[in-house]
Amino acid sequence: MNITSSKPANAKPTPHPSTLFPEIQTCKTLRQLKQVHASFVKSGKIHDPLAAAEFLRFSAYHRHLHNARLLFHQMIHPNCFSYNTIIRALSESDDHDDAEEALKIFVQMLHDEFVNPNGFTFPSLLKACASSARIEEGKQIHGLVVKMGFDGHDDFVLSNLLRTYVMCCAMEDASVLFKTRVKSRSKNVVFWNVMIDGYMRIGDFEAAKQLFDRMPHRSVVSWNGVIAGYAQNGLFKEALGVFREMQLANVNPNYVTLVSVLPAISRLGVLELGKWVHLYADKNEIEIDEKLGSALIDMYSKCGSIDKAIQLFLKLPLRNVVAWNAIIGGLAMHGRAKDALDYFSKMGREGILPNDITYIGVLSACSHAGLVEEGQQFFDQMMRSGLEPRMEHYGCMVDLLGRAGLFEEAEELIHSMPIKPDDIVWKALLNACKMHGNIEMGRRIAEHLMDWLPHDGGSYVALSNMYASANNWEGVVEVRLKMKEMDIRKDPGCSWIELDGATHEFLVEDDSHPKAKEIDGMLDEISENLKREGYRPNTTQVLLKMDEEEKENVLNYHSEKIAIAFGLISTDAQTPLRIVKNLRICQDCHSSIKLISKNL
């Protein structure tokens, strides 16, 4: 679309329409407006351009776009305010076709000899370009902004221009504009926030943080942007680091801050910080609505405090589908399948329609409890309700069938999927093969994944472990050599524990902690106590060729056991210890930790 103008840049803007029409001002509905409009047409008052503009303003303000279009196109000589009103209404629509229409009306405006754009025209136009990723039109509008002199003094126009480049991921153009026209306006924090958001969008987190650190002034929006950017991109430690910086800087978090930081707290299992967020919201009268409430429920669930999640859920004054999804998913995560399915039934009785995320929680609950028949019924129910299964639903079903040892049914489901299965779906079946010792199918699936994703270490490790469990050490060596040749490395097991606001992280056989000697002594004490209870290490979990004593020693130094030992030497008796792990826990650690918990 060619957007150019040959009109003089110094034309005077048309004044705002008057409010001399009380009959329009008192309209409450579109029907009332149409009745008043009819009377104006009949009396001839509609020929007053200010009256016509007021009718348009009412329709646009109340989002009656169809009526607004009709009114605008009936105007003989729309004034600048009318052009701006319809352009703004269309640019705020979620429909990209409306954004295109806004640009077309602007072209019409440029060819109207009676009207010139003003400072209120360009922000809406730029918003239309940003929302529909029309970078070329945005650049043409930028040229008009410069030509008409709005780039030198109008911060509102400049911020929208900058945001257009950012939303279109044209960060080089945004950077040039920021350095040449914006950076000197150091007191306007909006420009800096927009640039930080842009770098976050393209994944240049270092540039975003460097810009944030150089900001001469920061608003709470600045802090929120960095925290949310990190959390949404999986940089959870970094998100918590900035949140703690914010606290040290005595900047009060707001509602958006809490919603932004809770996912990071959830993923890292930092329960005490999560409790602080909940308490802060209560003390500062921040409304715990469905969104914040759901984030808190998810946090308590993922941090191991499911009873607290249930309490909070029951206290919510209003519970939308997101809140129900959070509690159902949390119960499923904790293996409380019956409770999860009970809540699903209650959800229906309260008239809340489940969505696709609800069924992920329900199918996950069935999978963890081995409820194959029920899971299949829910899967069928979801499709009958008109919801199209996504990759996650198929993954849950494959996991459900695989855990039950129904390998042929699981593989048949994968091959019958209407969408191409991703690696997660195949890995669900691969894990089931590993769990049940189905070496033949496991090898075939692992080799398929290794051909498809040759640098993904998960498939190599799974195949190596299956060979080791079958004492096929030649197969293990072959896989390990291939990994070495391709420089593929296994993700190390990692566990962390939060104590007194600090997070302590441990790897397998980790002796780097300042209290390593005390930890080692506690590990020996734990081992002796377990033996007195009659427990014997499950050395089948050590998939390495070594003698039994060496295998027992390896099991003793798994990262979660080291984290528990550190927790025991660092806290008083009866203090709950919550350990978060990046990989699935092995059977030996699962069994031994149950005994440790029982005897604490």
- The pLDDT of residue 11 is above 60: no
For domain 403-485, say whether CATH 1.10.1760 is its number: no
Range scoring the smallest mean pLDDT among 104-118, 144-158, 211-225, 266-280:
144-158
pLDDT reported for residue 457 = 86
Cα–Cα dist 140/126, whole Å: 10
DSSP string of 578-598?
Answer: -EEESSPPPHHHHHHHHHHHH
pLDDT of residue 498 exceeding 50: yes
pLDDT digits (tens, 9 = 90+) for 425-443: 999 999 999 888 899 999 9
Does the pLDDT at position 257 exceed 90?
A: yes
Q: What is the pLDDT of residues 164-183, one digit of tens each?
A: 999 999 999 999 988 887 66
What pLDDT band is residue 14 in, cutting at 50, 70 and 90? very low
In the structure, what pLDDT confidence band is assigned to residue 194 with cuts at 50, 70 and 90?
Answer: very high
Residues of the chain above pLDDT 90, percent: 46
Three-class SS state of 496: strand
**Least confident segment among 503-507, 555-559, 576-580:** 555-559
CB atoms within 10 A of CB 43: 9
pLDDT at 448: 92
Mean pLDDT in the chain?
86
112 vs 330, more confident: 330
pLDDT for res 18: 43
pLDDT value of residue 369: 92
Largest CA-CA distance found in the chain, in angstroms, rounded: 101
411 half-sphere exposure, CB direction, 13 A CA radius: 12
The angle subtended at Cα 28 by Cα 22 and Cα 34, nearest 5°, is 80
The pLDDT value given to residue 36: 73
**CATH code for the part of the protein at 287-373:** 1.25.40.10
Selection from 173-182, 271-280, 488-497, 554-563 with the highest mean pLDDT: 271-280
Cα gap 134→180, rounded to integer Å: 23
**CA-to-CA separations, 69 to 66, 102, 117, 296, in angstroms, rounded:** 5, 11, 19, 44
C-alpha pair distances (Å), 352 with each of 314, 319, 338, 343, 345 = 15, 9, 19, 11, 10
Same fold yes or no, 287-373 and 403-485: yes
pLDDT exceeds cutoff 90 at 396: yes
- Radius of gyration for the alpha carbons in the chain, expressed in angstroms and rounded: 31
Whole-structure pTM value: 0.81
Q: Rounded to whole angstroms, how far apart are CA atoms 292 and 260?
A: 10
**What is the structure's pLDDT at 502?**
81
Higher pLDDT, 207 or 588: 207
The predicted structure's pLDDT at residue 352? 95
In this prediction, residue 10 has a pLDDT band, given cuts at 50, 70 and 90, of: very low
Q: How far apart are CA 266 and CA 578, in angstroms?
A: 13
Terminal alpha carbon distance of the chain: 72
Residue type, 492: P
Phi, psi of 242 (to 5 degrees): -70, -35
pLDDT exceeds cutoff 50 at 61: yes
Spell out the domain ranges in the chain.
Answer: 198-284, 287-373, 403-485, 495-599
